[in-house]
């Protein structure tokens, strides 16, 4: 009768551990009518992960999947009706995804793929809000989305991103916000209070910082930063204001403030350590700064 040597037994255990999932936890609570929750923790190298799904209400749908994942967590909570939540964690470790939906017809999506030590958080209160966070080839990033109202739309993409942060808050109706980050230690904050405001932020490089604040209706703000340690702040109060900021280089600083109606401004900075400040108060003012 043959017996396995200690080395052979160790190799067999290692191979079997890599081929199967183990040590995972899934918790589901459903109170209501025709709710659906699916938790998937299968496949090779899927170990010690946790999925928590809680549903109170009618016709809510939650899907969570962890593949080739280690010590990661997905938490989905739905209170209301016809809410939809999807969270995917594929190839990575120590990631966290959280969504809380209160209301009717809200949609939340997170994807963390080839990702390590990332955090994605979505909070929705109201009706028919939609938010998506994607962290791809990402390490140590944080992204959060808060939507209170109806019909707000938000998207965050952190790709080939390391140690970056993106926060979006929408309070009102039909606001739209988008953030794209690549590089190291980017920071973006978007705050929209009102109706149908639109903001977009694109960051690439090292240590860039952006803050966009919109109060009112139908304001438009666009930001593009490429380089290192650039900083910009855009504040819009009123209706139908438009502002754009483009920074290419190192150490630029820009501040744009608009109060009123139908004001427009564009700031462009190329090179090193330029500073720009623009203030518009009133109706129909236009301006530009090029450095």
In angstroms, the Cα distances linking 221 to 198, 259, 278 are 6, 14, 14
Residue-range domain boundaries for the chain: 21-125, 164-290
The yes-or-no verdict on residue 157 having pLDDT over 60 is yes
pLDDT at residue number 21: 80
pTM of this structure: 0.93
Here the tokens at position 2 are 């043959």
What's the CA gap between 219 and 243, in Å, rounded?
A: 8
Query: What confidence tens digit (pLDDT) does each residue in 177-192 have?
Result: 999 999 999 999 999 9
């Amino acid at each position: 009768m043959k017996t396995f040597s200690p080395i052979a037994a160790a190799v067999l255990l290692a191979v079997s551990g890599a081929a199967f999932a183990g040590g995972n936890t899934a918790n589901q609570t459903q109170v209501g009518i025709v709710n659906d929750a699916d938790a998937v923790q299968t496949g090779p190298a899927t170990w010690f992960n946790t999925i928590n799904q809680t549903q109170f209400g009618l016709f809510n749908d939650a899907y969570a999947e962890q593949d080739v994942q280690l010590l990661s967590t997905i938490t989905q909570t739905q209170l209301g009706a016809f809410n939809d939540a999807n969270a995917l964690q594929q190839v990575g470790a120590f990631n966290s995804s959280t969504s809380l939906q209160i209301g009717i017809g809200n949609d939340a999506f997170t994807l963390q793929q080839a990702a390590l030590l990332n955090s994605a958080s979505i909070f929705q209160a109201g009706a028919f809000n939609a938010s998506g966070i994607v962290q791809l080839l990402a390490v140590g990033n944080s992204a959060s989305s808060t939507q209170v109202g109806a019909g707000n739309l938000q998207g965050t993409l952190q790709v080939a991103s390391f140690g970056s942060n993106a926060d979006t808050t929408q309070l009102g109706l039909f606001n739209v916000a988008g953030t794209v980050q690549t590089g190291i230690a980017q920071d973006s904050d978007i705050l929209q209070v009102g109706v149908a405001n639109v903001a977009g932020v694109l960051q690439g490089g090292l240590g860039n910082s952006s803050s966009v604040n919109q109060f009112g209706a139908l304001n438009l703000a666009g930001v593009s930063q490429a380089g290192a340690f650039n900083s910009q702040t855009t504040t819009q109060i009123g209706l139908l204001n438009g502002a754009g900021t483009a920074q290419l280089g190192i150490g630029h600083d820009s501040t744009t403030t608009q109060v009123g109606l139908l004001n427009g401004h564009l700031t462009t900075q190329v090179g090193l350590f330029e500073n720009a400040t623009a203030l518009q108060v009133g109706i129909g003012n236009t301006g530009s700064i090029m450095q």
